[in-house]
Structure 1
Amino acid sequence: MRQQVLVLYLATSALDSDVVGWSRYDGTGRTRPTTGDSDEPPYPTGLAALHDGWRLFQASQLLPPQSGHEYDVSFLKHEFFFEKVEDSPHS
């Protein structure tokens, strides 16, 4: 068994909001890592990834911005980690 990891960055903290960035890592060795190289995300929302069998195992903390920094540009803060565990082709 090998783990696949999908990281989705969503527009808001809601799982049904649009995907704005993503990374995918395949521990099975079937595919190479992707970091959002294409124009289309693997799923339109985090909820769509759940419907396809990905398990959510971590979501970023919701932290309010400090006063005076509400409009600063920084990292993508609505980060969700998903996983699938599948048979390895090498087993």
Structure 2
Amino acid sequence: MYLSTVFLSEIENGVENAITKCNEEFLRRFGTIQDYISDSIITDFSGETFLVDSRCDEVMALWDVFKDFKDEIFIDLPVIKAMDTTRTVRDEMRGVKRMFH
């Protein structure tokens, strides 16, 4: 199931529960955060990012539904790190410097 769909289907049980369910699905499908980054964000020999794949699109779709609730979460989960990392990479690829998380 798409991560944003998991989040929206679980939100009635609380934000922490919804993002925890997303985290479980993320880990089941993508492995660890290190696996996700190495498999979905490709860099060249100089360290410049040049390709992100559809998994990044899915993580960004989750961000679109999660971002309004992020201040309610005080747990550290791999799926949250994946959203932060993907946003940073996308912004860098676009030449945008992020000032806030």
Pairwise TM-score range, normalised by the shorter structure = under 0.3
Higher-RCO chain (CA-CA 8 Å, sequence separation at least 6): 1
**Larger-Rg structure:** 1
**Higher helix proportion (structure 1 or 2):** 2
**Higher strand proportion (structure 1 or 2):** 1
